[in-house]
Structure 1
Amino acid sequence: MGEPEVMRAVRITGHGGTEVLEPAEVAVPDPQAGEVLVRVGAVALNNTDLWTREGAYGRPGDPEALSGWRGPIAFPRIQGADVAGRVAAVGGGVDPGLVGRRVVVDPAVYDTDGPDANPVGLMGSERDGGYAEYVTAPAARVHDVTESPLTDDQLATLPTAYGTALGMIERGRLREGETVLVSGASGGVGIALIQIARARGARVLAVSSGSKTDVVREAGAHAVLDRARDIAGQIRAAAPEGIDVALDVVAGELVNEGLPLLREGGRWVVAGALGGYDVAFDVRRLYLHNAQVIGSAMHTPTHFALLMDLARRGEIRPVVAATFPLEGAARAQEELARRAHVGKIVLRPGERSPSATR
């Protein structure tokens, strides 16, 4: 196939701290029937990388159990869900015209083949991912973005963060003219939520820390609320008539404080638990006001196709906070965990420099 037989990769050898991230030379995977081999140009980091490495997802009936995204992980595992690159080779039954095309990989492993399938696995968790020079993926999950004006770094930020954001917005049925609350607004998903919600014609209230206010406002937020102060009071002041949709990656106390501020028929969409997973709220605020609490994990194939259309047209502008070479994966994850950045952190497997760039 003209590709090297061995590649550089970073694997996790078990659950734990960044010490379990192990640089290694491994065999370049062969694309099976229906698959393509992608030469990785850039791979973006996500909170999912940290939580999968730590085993922080718990299991039904045992929330403290060490577990990957959807259950036990087969180690060693190459992390990295968000891949942009070029098709290097194809397996049986795949159009050879894809070779050389610039692509983004949909990292979800779906429960069915339908357009509204649910993700039940994730590249980098249930199958090997993009912390490597090459990765295989089903041809049906590879989207040609050759014409996109976005860089590989920017394209790599899209699958999980923007896919999750678009899934939340679609499941929350956000409409033009509605008022939306976005929590965790300076993170990768938060910036994506602001940009997409603003493009839909919504009024965006964003919750962030004071030091990141300017960047969050630049992303399109109409009002920025300081998470260190009385959130409920700030929401009431900014939206006296209430909010239509909450797009929440924080959960914790915010759910209890915010649910009473939903308007009639409001929707509270949860796609993360940065503020804690053990949530209590007054259920009367739910049924008396026809409100809905909606769980949202990533996206469907339909959502992802919509996202790729936005990418081809350059209608979204991802923010890249920092880039690292592949061997800097541990340092990159440490920086992600500090949450001092705005936007996304990206690894470039083609780079061999030991220093990070900014």
Structure 2
Amino acid sequence: MRAMTITPEHRLLLTDLPEPSPAPGEVLVDVVAAGVNRADLLQVAGGYPPPAGASELPGLEVAGRRRDTGAPVVALLAGGGYAEVVAVPEGQLLPAPAGVEAVPAAGVPEVAATVVSNLVLEAGLRTGETVLIHGASGGIGTAAVQIAHRLGARVLAVTGSPEACGSARALGADAAWDRRTTDLPAAVAAEGGADVILDVVGGSLLAENVAMLRERGRLVIIGTLGGARGELPIGLLMGRRARILGTTLRSRPAAEKQEILARTQDLVWPLLADGSVRVPVHARLPLEEAEEAHGMLRRGGHLGKVILEVDLSGAW
């Protein structure tokens, strides 16, 4: 099979490899397309190794067909998605979402599961609460804006450009600001603060995020684009009886991933089917252009997902 391997120089190289052998409880999936995520960039750079026992290949989500039944599916992976065939624990497969073509479907499982696990299961976002979403124009951000809106939350979005602000509002954000030109704490304060903050930036925004929380607010940190260390205003955190949650999805046990995916299917699949949640696709590139796909994420300015087309002959 064709696959993208990581070289010692931290580059991606198209390589011919043997197909994976499924372990007990795993099934083979013939990959149609693979989603690209920032975690993939970190792995290629040597900063985010796969969990023990996972494929060394990058790629955390795919759309394809089960080898045993031919059924169209999407899969959440701990690695291996940049390849023509992946071995997936059966509990980490979901049926292809109705009404979504194979290429955009490849960008669903990682972002949808991330949003559901963090906003719903960890932060307990409730109808009528206000949620602030950093990076609202990226893959996770665009999904978070739409899902939170459909859950009945008031959505505040932070993006990197005026154009992206307009896109966030079109997806359901009640307010959107360009982080480069806005006094964000003042803007959020004028909205009454946030009950929940979904943060992909990390350390550099820690103190600012705590200051923007309402009483009993929850800050969920899922990325470290702004560094892994920050200053924590403990007195302010205590005074607001707020909580800080840090989570990852990739390294969770298989049983937890299966539970998250089941909840994701229950909550998000109907929204994909009726069109109230969609997957914006910024670019579609062939597998062998994975390095260019990574460059798009590195440069920023994209709306939604970048997808690698692996083998469209199996598309549904």
Q: Please give the TM-score of this superposition, normalised by the length of structure 1.
A: 0.79
**Aligned equivalents of 1:272, 1:78: Cα separation in 2:** 21
The residue number in structure 1 matching 2:22 is: 31
Q: Pick one of 134, 144, 161 that aligns with 2:95.
A: 144
The residue number in structure 1 matching 2:110 is: 160
Q: Pick one of 2, 7, 10 that aligns with 1:8.
A: 2
Q: Deviations over 1:77-121 (max 9, x none)?
A: 3211111100113xxxxxxxxx110111122xxxxxxxxxxxxxx
**Aligned equivalents of 2:23, 2:87: Cα separation in 1:** 8
Q: Pick one of 250, 275, 288 that aligns with 1:327.
A: 288
Q: Deviations over 1:318-343 (max 9, x none)?
A: 11110011111111111121112110
Q: Pick one of 118, 124, 127 that aligns with 1:173.
A: 124
More helix by share: 2
How far is the alpha carbon of 1:150 from its aligned partner?
0.7
How far is the alpha carbon of 1:15 from its aligned partner?
6.0
Q: Pick one of 183, 188, 191 that aligns with 1:230.
A: 183
Q: Deviations over 1:12-50 (max 9, x none)?
A: 13362xxx2111111122334322111101100000000
CA contact (8 A) 2:92 2:257 kept: no
Structure 1 34/69 Cα, relative in aligned 2: closer, same or farther at 3 Å?
A: closer
More displaced stretch, 39-48 vs 254-263: 254-263
CA contact (8 A) 1:14 1:53 kept: no
For the pair shown, which has the larger CA radius of gyration, 1 or 2?
1
More displaced stretch, 321-330 vs 29-38: 29-38
The residue number in structure 1 matching 2:308 is: 347
**Aligned equivalents of 2:170, 2:287: Cα separation in 1:** 30
Structure 1 180/195 Cα, relative in aligned 2: closer, same or farther at 3 Å?
A: same
Gaps of 5+ in 1: 1-6, 58-67, 90-98, 108-121, 353-358
**Aligned equivalents of 1:131, 1:258: Cα separation in 2:** 35
Q: Does 1:41 align with 2:2?
A: no
CA contact (8 A) 2:34 2:61 kept: yes
How many residues are treated as equivalent by the alignment? 300
Q: Is the partner of 1:78 in helix, strand or coil?
A: coil
CA contact (8 A) 1:45 1:80 kept: yes
How far is the alpha carbon of 1:261 from its aligned partner?
2.5
Structure 1 277/69 Cα, relative in aligned 2: closer, same or farther at 3 Å?
A: farther
CA contact (8 A) 1:42 1:347 kept: yes
Structure 1 8/224 Cα, relative in aligned 2: closer, same or farther at 3 Å?
A: same
How far is the alpha carbon of 1:290 from its aligned partner?
0.9
**Aligned equivalents of 2:27, 2:285: Cα separation in 1:** 26
CA contact (8 A) 1:155 1:311 kept: no
Gaps of 5+ in 2: 250-255
**Aligned equivalents of 2:137, 2:157: Cα separation in 1:** 9
Q: Pick one of 97, 102, 105 that aligns with 2:72.
A: 102
The residue number in structure 1 matching 2:200 is: 249
The residue number in structure 1 matching 2:252 is: none
The CA RMSD measured in Å over matched residues stands at 2.1
The residue number in structure 2 matching 1:78 is: 57
Q: Deviations over 1:197-251 (max 9, x none)?
A: 10110000101122311111111110002201311111112x1x32111111112
User: Residue type matched to 1:11 in 2?
Assistant: T
Q: Deviations over 1:241-274 (max 9, x none)?
A: 3211111111233221131231111111111111
How far is the alpha carbon of 1:51 from its aligned partner?
0.4
User: Residue type matched to 1:292 in 2?
Assistant: R
More displaced stretch, 197-206 vs 312-321: 312-321
Q: Does 1:311 align with 2:269?
A: yes
The residue number in structure 1 matching 2:166 is: 214
User: Residue type matched to 1:206 in 2?
Assistant: A
Q: Using CA pairs below 8 Å that are at least 6 residues apart, which structure has the higher relative contact order?
A: 2
CA contact (8 A) 1:15 1:53 kept: no
**Aligned equivalents of 2:50, 2:5: Cα separation in 1:** 16
How far is the alpha carbon of 1:351 from its aligned partner?
5.7
Identity of aligned residues (%): 37
How far is the alpha carbon of 1:177 from its aligned partner?
0.3
How far is the alpha carbon of 1:166 from its aligned partner?
1.2
**Aligned equivalents of 2:98, 2:201: Cα separation in 1:** 32
**Aligned equivalents of 1:226, 1:164: Cα separation in 2:** 24
**Aligned equivalents of 1:177, 1:188: Cα separation in 2:** 24
CA contact (8 A) 1:326 1:351 kept: no
User: Residue type matched to 1:103 in 2?
Assistant: V
Q: Deviations over 1:287-329 (max 9, x none)?
A: 1221000112127422211222322652521111100111111
User: Residue type matched to 2:197 in 1?
Assistant: A
More displaced stretch, 304-313 vs 205-214: 304-313
